[in-house]
Amino acid sequence: MHLFWLLLLLTMSGLLSAQEASEVAEEPTLAGLQSSIEAAQSSLTMIWLVITGALVFFMQAGFAMVEVGLTRAKNAANIIMKNLMDFAVGSVAFFFVGWGLMYGSTASGWIGTDHFALMGYSPDEITNILRNWFFQVVFAATAATIVSGAMAERTKFVSYLLYSVFISAIVYPISGHWIWGGGWLSEMGFHDFAGSTVVHSVGGWAALVGAILLGPRLGKYVKLPDGKVKVRAILGHNLPLAALGVFILWFGWYGFNPGSTLDGNSVDIGWVAVTTTLGASTGAVGAMIMSWILFKKPDTSMSLNGALAGLVAITAPTYVVEPWAAIVIGLIGGILVVLSVEFFDKVLHIDDPVGAISVHGVCGVWGTLSVGLFANRPNDKIVGLFYNGSFHQLGVQTLGVVTVFIWVVVTMGAFFFIVRQTVGLRVDEKEELQGLDITEHAAEAYPGFQIFSNM
C-alpha cells in the first residue's frame, strides 16, 4: 500500500524522533540481527528476480517486432495477435498445468506431479514460490513465442492458440523438469545455465516441426520445368522494427542470463553480464563477416540474427566460461547462423521467415555443447574438454541435446499432425494471398499507407 504518507506524518509529528525510537526499541541481539540480514538477502533476491523477470517479459516485445519486421505488411496484425496471445494463454496454461509438471515433486525424475495451480504450498512458502513462478513463466513464454516466427504468414490463428497452450502446459515444462526441475538430466550433470536447450532449442525444434508440417509460403520455392527449385527471397517489410526488436531482445537478455543466477546475492552476476555482452557482440560480428563473404555485402538482417545467435549460444555456458571463450562461442554462433539459414532455405527448402530454427534450434545446440568444451568452473564441477581433456561433460551435454530434440520433435510432431487433420494448421490459398490480417482478424496494419498490391 501507499502507506508512505503515514510514515511521513509520523516523522513530521515528532512522535517517532530518532532518539525516542531507539529508547523504545529492544536491544538488538545476535540472533535478531542475523535474521534481519537473512531477510535482506532474501529481499535482494526478490527484487532481483522481479526486475530481471520483467526484462525477460519485455523480450515478448522484441520477438513481436522482429517477426513483424521480417515478414510482409499484410500479416502484421496477425503476428501481433500471435505474440500477444501466446503469452496470454500460455501464462494461464503454465499456471494451471505447466508449473506443476516442471517444478512439482518428482519421484521418477521424468515429470513433476503436484502443485498444479500453485496449490499445496504453505503460507510461509507462497511468497517465494510466487516470485519464482513469475521468473519462470516468462521463460516458458519465450520458448512458446520462438515458434511464431517460423510459422508466420500461413498458420491458422486458432491452431496457433492451441499450440500455445500445448507447449506452455506440456512440452516445455516436461523437458524443463529434466534439466531445471530436479530431473534425470540435471542429476547426470547436464548444465544449461539460462536455457540454450531448455528454452531456445525447445522453441527452435518446435519451430522446425511446425515449419515442415505447414509447408512453405506460397511462391517461396518454385519448381522450374527442369526439376530444379527456384528459391525466392520474401522480404520483410520493416527493417527498423526488426532492429528495434533485436535491441529489445538483447536488453531483455540481461534479465534472461544474469537473472538465472536465481540469487540476488550471487557474486557472479557481473560475470554473466560480461560473457553475455561479448557473446552477443561477436555473434553480430561473425554473422556480418560470414554474410560479407557469402553475399559480397554485410547483410543487415543476417547481422541482427547474428547478435541473437550469439546470445542464444552464450545462454547455456554464460556462467561457466571465461570472457575469451564467450568471444569465441559468440563468433562461431554468428557464423553458424548464416550457414544454417542458408542450409535450411537453399538446401532443405524449409521455409522459416525469420530464421528461428537456425537462431534458436541450431545455436541453442551449439551453446549447449560449448559447455562441454569451454567450461571452467571446477568449484561447480563443470569443466569442459579444453580444460580437463575429458569428454565426460561434452557427452552429457550431447545426451541432453539429443533427448530434448527427440522429445520435442515427437510430441510437437504428433500435436501439429493431429491439429492439421482436425482443425487445420494452415489458412487456405486465397487467405494467404490476401494476408491474414484481413482474413483472420478483419484488421489492417497500416491503413493510409500505399502498399504495393503484391506484398
**Element containing residue 76 per DSSP (H, E):** helix 76-93
Minimum distance from residue 396 beta carbon to a second copy (Å): 14
Minimum distance from residue 227 beta carbon to a second copy (Å): 29
Residue closer to a second copy by CB (options 299, 351) is 299
64 binds a second copy (CB under 8 A): yes
Half-sphere exposure of 105 (CA within 13 A, CB side): 6
Enumerate residues 354-383 that contact a second copy by CB under 8 A. 380
128 binds a second copy (CB under 8 A): yes
Q: Which stretch binds a second copy (CB under 8 A): 60-68, 210-218, 345-353, 425-433?
A: 60-68
Residue in this structure with the C-alpha cell 563443470, named with its chain if needed:
382
Report how far residue 67's alpha carbon sits from residue 155's, in angstroms, rounded to the nearest whole number. Answer: 14
Residue closer to a second copy by CB (options 209, 313) is 313
What length is written for the chain?
Answer: 455
Q: Which stretch binds a second copy (CB under 8 A): 142-150, 166-174, 393-401, 439-447?
A: 439-447
Q: Which stretch binds a second copy (CB under 8 A): 164-172, 230-238, 367-375, 401-409?
A: 230-238
Residues forming a β-bridge with 221: 231
385 binds a second copy (CB under 8 A): no
Q: Nearest Cα to 309, choosing from 381, 357, 248, 371? A: 357
Enumerate residues 79-108 that contact a second copy by CB under 8 A. 80-81, 83-85, 87-89, 91-92, 95, 103, 105
Enumerate residues 202-221 that contact a second copy by CB under 8 A. none
Q: Nearest Cα to 215, choosing from 423, 440, 424? A: 424
Residue closer to a second copy by CB (options 228, 296) is 296
353 binds a second copy (CB under 8 A): no
CB-based contact 69:240 (threshold 8 Å) = yes
Enumerate residues 235-254 that contact a second copy by CB under 8 A. 235-241, 243-244, 246-248, 250-251, 254
Q: Which of 98, 100, 101, 137 binds a second copy (CB under 8 A)?
A: 137
Minimum distance from residue 144 beta carbon to a second copy (Å): 12
Neighbours of 131 (CB within 10 A): 18
Residue closer to a second copy by CB (options 246, 369) is 246
CB-based contact 420:215 (threshold 8 Å) = no
443 binds a second copy (CB under 8 A): yes
Residue closer to a second copy by CB (options 3, 224) is 3
Report how far residue 209's alpha carbon sits from residue 224's, in angstroms, rounded to the nearest whole number. Answer: 26
440 binds a second copy (CB under 8 A): yes
Minimum distance from residue 413 beta carbon to a second copy (Å): 27
User: How open is the CA angle 295-297-301, to the nearest 5 degrees?
Assistant: 85
Residue closer to a second copy by CB (options 27, 226) is 27
Report how far residue 271's alpha carbon sits from residue 325's, in angstroms, rounded to the nearest whole number. Answer: 12
Enumerate residues 298-327 that contact a second copy by CB under 8 A. 298-301, 303-304, 307, 319, 323-324, 327
47 binds a second copy (CB under 8 A): yes
Exposure class string for 409-420: b at 16+ Cβ within 10 A, else e = eebbbebbeebe
Burial class (CB in 10 A: 0-12, 13-18, 19+), 69: buried
End-to-end, the C-alpha distance of the chain in Å comes to 52
284 binds a second copy (CB under 8 A): yes
CB-based contact 55:254 (threshold 8 Å) = yes
Q: Which of 27, 224, 389, 421 binds a second copy (CB under 8 A)?
A: 27
